[in-house]
Chain A
């Protein structure tokens, strides 16, 4: 039953994809210990979902939201420093495959399906960048969130 493990497989595949495809800035996964001491910039991935819906018999629609928080220290000599960090992150928001990753006997590493980034022209399902600016007058840290919505269909009978 794919439903029993899909949450782990989606999470593991999302973590691997974004870890492999974001470079030039340190990426942390929410829930892991992190030490940002000495780092000027970093980002952190959080996954909402996956939401699982059986749209017809044995056909599952799985969707999730990938949210990456970017922390940027102000660079007084480079106005574009924050947007450069955003660019390093959003280039990873592409379609990618979901595999049965994990440490248990069910985690065979086999391909399940392709997670598709939902269309950008849909007002509800867009790659969204939200800039919060400087967090407080005493801080030189700016925060930005990026969010993309993904979806795939899985036929349980083929799994």
Chain B
């Protein structure tokens, strides 16, 4: 029995091609919420039966160290990866949809490795905190993460 933590985790953003960049979480965190909707049918006021409702996107939130936003030495930066605007990056999503990327969280400890993949992540907010030197990103994926 053990407990996994950020010290075991490598967090990578990938595009639809071969590009990827490792995210420095620093003192931040990665959180997500798997969701599903359940609909209940009532019979004269009492719950009679239930069934799964419509799919819901999986909300993901993560923080990372505020390095250069666009002035890094190799023109590959985290914000550009999230927005899929880095040079050479292509979206993982379908054409005509908002640009998306994949998030891959690898947790490795004692030669055991677990990979948690968030497919087609699309950002919705980027919160910049210069005093803390961090940027927080929130967004969602079309499905709950895949764990291998």
Q: Give the contact stretch, choosing among B23-31, B43-51, B82-90.
A: B23-31
Size class of B's contact patch?
10 to 19
Size class of A's contact patch?
under 10
Complex contact B8–A57 (CB within 8 A) = yes
- Known A57-B7, A59-B26; further 5 A-B contacts with Cβ < 8 A: A54-B7, A56-B7, A59-B24, A59-B65, A61-B27
Main secondary structure of the interface of A (DSSP, over half): strand
B38 within 8 A of A: no
Tell me, in angstroms, the Cα distance from A155 to B65 when the chains sit together: 11
Tell me, in angstroms, the Cα distance from A55 to B27 when the chains sit together: 5
Q: Which residues of B contact A (CB under 8 A)?
A: 6-10, 24-28, 65, 131
* Nearest Cβ on chain B to A77's Cβ, whole angstroms: 46
Interface string of A104-120 (1 = CB under 8 A from B): 00000000000000010
Q: Which residues of A contact B (CB under 8 A)?
A: 54-57, 59, 61, 119, 153, 155
Nearest residue, chain B, Cβ from A151: B133
Complex contact B7–A155 (CB within 8 A) = no
Complex contact B8–A55 (CB within 8 A) = no
Tell me, in angstroms, the Cα distance from A96 to B131 when the chains sit together: 19
Nearest residue, chain B, Cβ from A121: B131
Residues of A within 8 A of B8 (CB): 57
* Nearest Cβ on chain A to B29's Cβ, whole angstroms: 9
Complex contact A153–B65 (CB within 8 A) = yes
Complex contact A57–B9 (CB within 8 A) = yes
Nearest residue, chain B, Cβ from A54: B7
Nearest residue, chain A, Cβ from B107: A57
Residues of B within 8 A of A56 (CB): 6-7, 9, 24-28
Complex contact B26–A57 (CB within 8 A) = no
Nearest residue, chain A, Cβ from B67: A153
